[in-house]
A and B are shown apart, each in its own frame.
Chain A
Amino acid sequence: MTFRRFLCALLLAGCAAGAAADGVGDRLQKLFGGTRGGGEILDPELAFRLQAETAGPTAVRVSWDIADGYYLYRDKFSFAIGAGAASVDAAKLVLPRGEWKDDEEFGRVEVNTGAVEVLVPIARAAGPELAITLTVGYQGCKDEAVCYPPARKDLPLTLAAWSGTDMAAGDTPLSESDAISARLQSAGFVGSVLAFLGFGLLLSLTPCVFPLIPILSGIITRRGAELTPRSGFGLSLAYVLALSAAYAVLGIIAGSLQLNLQTAAQTPAVIVAFSVVFVVLALSMFGVFELQVPAALQSRLSVLSDAQPGGSYRGAAVMGALSAVIAGPCVAPPLAGALLYISRTGDAFLGGAALFAMGLGFGAPLLLFGLSAGSLLPRAGRWMNGIRRVFGVVMLGVAVWLLGRVLPGPATLALWALLLIACAVHLGALERLPAEGGGPARVFKGTGLALLVYGAALIVGAAAGGDDPFRPLAGLRVGAGAVERLPFQRIDNLSALRQELDAAARANRVVMLDFYADWCVECKRMERNTFPDPRVRDRLRQVVLLQADVTANDPASLEMLAAYELFGPPAILFFSPGAGELRAHRLVGYLGPEEFLEHLALALRS
């Protein structure tokens, strides 16, 4: 802007020098609209030079270059769509703050001077290029001299094709979720479904699939002697199909109701219910009882598939459906992108089909696993019980991990301790080794003792108020608690959040907004590893640090998440005083200190 002004000045100087003497000053004044009697009253077009250009497919940048000594009333700006299938998203429109002017007649009025730039957000449907007319209204005066009638200008503009993804400006990089949904939108229906299948396959290569393997193994091993490659594959298929169907349901709901499913799956009630399911499954693994499908269902299923014994298939299917939600938090960012995309299309059928395909892709390795498990696992054997117990312990572990989201940290730590000590005792840590005991018994006892000691450490840690299972005694260190936390200001409702953001914008300061919850494991990791880093603290010194606490998962929390179209923590958003949220620099998921510093450098530069 300043450079452009500099060029203008040069241009004028050049003109003046070239045209030299004879009254060119007069002429210039005339050229620029001055009238002799009234001093220099500029044409409104020159007093308020208006420019507009599109800023991506859903925004128009409107700017005024206001001549010195002139001003525009801040409350007289108006923006509307005169023609074209779109509307101005007034809720997201942010006018730059002006300066207060004491007017003898009106009292204090807020006016804008100099350069004013407004990013006008446009709400529109996804689709190809869109021609619109933006009608801009404004009114202003020359200080102490004249006022101009309210001006209305119709600006014809062509918005670029839009993928259905929100984006502040066309040339900025997309955030993770946005990039996924942008790529998906560009394909057609079949393309979308195939893309989701591919995404599923990619997801299956992440550790997200690990929690599912013990579950599936548990189902398969419960078949015991009857297990064949065929039945193993069949069980896996039932499991994977049900998993996919569960995702399909997510997709259909996202496509029709625009519900916030990830958040729903993180409400305490749902989490506790799943933990209970896992404990029950674990107990059945330990042989406390046999899970039996009701006889009526069993017979119905055997009618349906005569050759295959029922019951287990049904169980596999139920577990598959539940597993979709279990894996949910791990695949949160891509799933969020997918669901965001689906809810934007508003197409329930596409949503169902696409997410079903994603489930199939995600489950494909599990099919292979089922097939191989059937051929690799022994038909029978007493030590199969041992494997079942291991799976039982893993399931209990999953239950504790889930409960960790709703329980206080020390309580979770105590549960871990309980689990480890029980394992240790079971492994014979407290039993005397037989005199001529074999190698395996010694290994078991050694492992058991290690678990016992660690379990004891966890209990001590829990008693001291620790909450990190990997560093249970951190709280006991001398000078503990000296690890400095970032001075976040905690906020628990949307209106307070808006107030803080407004205040920061007025103070012309950048804001970093962290969505946090006590049960959010990734948030805790950030708090522990990333935020205490001195370089990070230093980089954030000038930044207003806000933390939206959504631990309660109550309507106020959900409202804050919904306001930013988030599916849950962790999420870190950046706001600049002029441009509002820097959507492209939105951060979803964990970053270590190095990566976070890089991200900060990018986000704070703009």
Chain B
Amino acid sequence: MKPLALATGAIVIVAMSAGVAYRLSSRVESPPAAEPAMSVVGTQRPEFSLADVDGAPRSVSEWDGKVLALNFWATWCPPCRKEIPEFVELQHRYGERGLQFVGIALQRPDDVRAFIQEHNMNYPVLAGEMEVIRLAERYGNRVGALPYTVIIDRKGRIAYVKPGPLSGTAAEEVIAPLL
């Protein structure tokens, strides 16, 4: 037992010094790097072009001038599936006033079509694999987890990002002022 106690003591001391060293070094550093997810907020949205589930290439500029909500999702992601009906409802309610939801699925188009039919998705869905992972990264999704939602204002500036589930009311609160 005694060597174990000694070892734990040593480890705690080493860890404490590591903590102190971290504190000192971070003080010397220039302002800490902003969080990647936050860093894209306020910046101009990156350009991209991606095939939709029917194979037609779609460019993001197609929706210029609208309030654009990009929702990264996949059918294998239960939290994503759960929030989509609320987005369908928002699209239905605010579409006339200039809201455009666009779903971006991280999987093959074939795997998505049935879901789109089943849930009466009333907005375009683009799909892809590696290209979607890279696109999500460019939009600030460093972790790569889904769902991930980006809201872009009429001028093409990223106004809001939300890693993880986004409730309909929370989305409405962000979107309504932008319309």
B165 nearest CB neighbor, chain A only: A145
* A17 engages B16 (CB within 8 Å): yes
B22 at the interface (CB under 8 A from A): yes
CB–CB A147/B78 < 8 A: yes
Of B32, B81, B82, B163, most buried by chain A (CB within 10 Å of CB) is B163
Asked if residues B143 and A30 are in contact (CB atoms below 8 Å), the reply is no
Q: Cα distance A17–B12 when bound, in Å?
A: 10
A142, B146: Cα distance in complex, Å = 10
Residues of B within 8 A of A16 (CB): 19
Is residue A44 within 8 Å, beta carbon to beta carbon, of the partner chain?
A: yes
Q: Which of B16, B74, B165: most chain A Cβ within 10 A?
A: B16
**Minimum Cβ distance to chain A for residue B50 (Å):** 16
Q: Is the CB of A37 within 8 A of B37?
A: yes
A14-B12, A35-B142, A35-B143 in contact; A105/B81 too (CB < 8 A)? yes
Query: Is there a chain B Cβ closer than 8 Å to A146's Cβ?
Result: yes
B64 CB → nearest A CB, Å: 25
Identify which of residues 27-50 in chain A touch chain B, using a CB-to-CB cut-off of 8 Å: 27, 30, 33, 35-39, 41-44
When the two chains form their complex, are residues B23 and A145 in contact, meaning their CB atoms are under 8 A apart?
no
Q: Which residues of B contact A202 (CB under 8 A)?
A: none
Contact B144 A147 (CB under 8 A): no
CB nearest to B21 among chain A residues: A18
- In the complex, the answer to whether A37 meets B161 with C-beta atoms within 8 Å is yes
Asked if A377 is at the interface of the complex by the 8 Å CB criterion, the answer is no
Shortest distance from the beta carbon of B150 to any chain A beta carbon, whole Å: 11
CB distance from B108 to the nearest CB of A (A): 12
**A42 to B23 alpha-carbon distance, docked (Å):** 22
Report the minimal beta-carbon distance from B131 to chain A, rounded to whole angstroms.
Answer: 13
* Chain A stretch 146-161: residues in CB contact (< 8 A) with chain B: 146-149
The reply to whether B15 and A149 contact each other, CB–CB distance below 8 Å, is: no
**Chain B residues within 8 Å of chain A by Cβ, number:** 41
Task: Given the known inter-chain contacts A37-B38, A106-B78, A141-B78, please indicate yes or no for A14 contacting B11, CB distance below 8 A.
Answer: yes
State A560–B35 Cα separation when bound (angstroms).
60
Looking at the assembled complex, report how far the CB atom of A41 sits from the nearest CB atom of chain B, in whole angstroms.
5
Distance of A388 Cα from B2 Cα, bound (Å) = 75
Residue of B nearest to A147 (CB): B77
A139 close to B (CB within 8 Å):
yes
Asked whether, in the complex, the Cβ of B80 is within 8 Å of the Cβ of A147, the reply is yes
In the complex, how many angstroms separate the beta carbon of A547 from the nearest chain B beta carbon? 44
A10 CB-CB contact with B under 8 Å = yes
B15 touches A37 (CB 8 A): no
- Could you tell me if A146 and B76 are in contact, using CB atoms closer than 8 angstroms? no
Contact in complex: A146, B142 (CB < 8 Å): no
Contact check, B35 vs A35: say whether CB atoms are below 8 A apart: yes
| A38 near B162: Cβ-Cβ < 8 Å | yes
User: In this assembly, does A11 line the interface, its C-beta being within 8 Å of a C-beta of chain B?
Assistant: yes
A41 in complex: contacting residue of B26, B36, B106, B164, CB < 8 Å: B164
A11-B11, A18-B23 known; A146 and B16 CB under 8 Å?
no
Smallest Cβ distance from A25 to chain B, in angstroms? 12
Q: Contacting B145 at CB < 8 Å: which of A12, A19, A44?
A: A44
Contact among B11, B79, B143 with A10 in the assembled complex (CB-CB below 8 Å): B11
Produce 1/0 per residue, B10-48, CB < 8 A to A.
Answer: 011111111110110010000010011110000000000
Q: Complex Cα distance A140/B16, Å?
A: 34
Residues of A within 8 A of B133 (CB): 149
Is A306 in contact with chain B by the CB < 8 A criterion?
no
Bound form: Cα–Cα A171–B115 in Å: 51
* A24 CB within 8 Å of chain B: yes
**Chain A residues, Cβ within 8 Å of B12:** 10, 13-14
Contact with A along B58-71 (1 / 0, CB 8 A): 00000000000000
A165–B172 CA distance with the chains assembled, in angstroms:
65
Tell me how far the C-beta of A459 lies from the nearest C-beta in chain B, rounded to whole angstroms.
68
Q: Are B146 and A146 in contact (CB under 8 A)?
A: yes
Given contacts A35-B35, A104-B78, A147-B80, contact A14 B19 (CB under 8 A): yes
Distance of A10 Cα from B7 Cα, bound (Å): 12
Contacts of B165 in A (CB 8 A): 144-146
Do A14 and B16 contact each other (CB < 8 Å), given the known contacts A38-B162, A146-B79, A147-B145?
yes
Q: If the complex has contacts A104-B78, A146-B79, are A18 and B164 also in contact, measured as CB distance less than 8 A?
A: no
Contact A149/B19 with A7-B11, A37-B161 known, Cβ cut-off 8 Å? no
Taken together as a complex, chains A and B put the C-alpha atoms of A98 and B17 apart, in Å, by 40
- Residue ID in chain B nearest A73 by CB atoms: B76
Contact (A148, B15) CB under 8 Å given A20-B23, A36-B35: no
For A417-460 the 0/1 string (1 means CB < 8 A from B) is 00000000000000000000000000000000000000000000
Q: Which residues of A contact B81 (CB under 8 A)?
A: 105
Q: B22 near A35 (CB under 8 angstroms)?
A: no
B49 at the interface (CB under 8 A from A): no
> Are B37 and A139 interface neighbours, CB within 8 A?
no
Cβ of B78 to closest chain A Cβ, rounded Å: 4
* Contact across chains for A17 and B19 when beta carbons are under 8 A apart: yes
A538 at the A/B interface (Cβ < 8 Å)? no
- B147 contacts the other chain (CB 8 A): yes
Which B residues, 144 to 170, have Cβ-Cβ distances below 8 Å to chain A? Answer: 144-148, 161-165
The residues of B that contact A103 with a CB separation of less than 8 Å are 78
Q: Provide the residues of chain A in CB contact with B80, threshold 8 Å.
A: 147
Report how far A499 CA is from B111 CA in the complex, Å. 35
- The interface residues of chain B lying within 8 Å CB-to-CB of A601 are none
Which 10 A-B pairs rank lowest in CB-CB distance, beginning with the nearest?
A18-B19, A14-B15, A38-B163, A147-B77, A146-B145, A18-B16, A15-B19, A38-B164, A19-B19, A35-B37
A sample of 6 inter-chain contacts (CB < 8 A) reads A13-B12, A18-B23, A37-B161, A104-B82, A141-B79, A147-B78
Report which B residues bind A (CB closer than 8 A).
Answer: 8, 11-20, 22-23, 26, 32, 35-38, 74, 76-82, 106, 133, 142-148, 161-165
- What is the interface of chain A, defined by CB distance below 8 A to chain B? 7, 10-20, 22, 24, 27, 30, 33, 35-39, 41-44, 103-106, 139, 141-142, 144-149
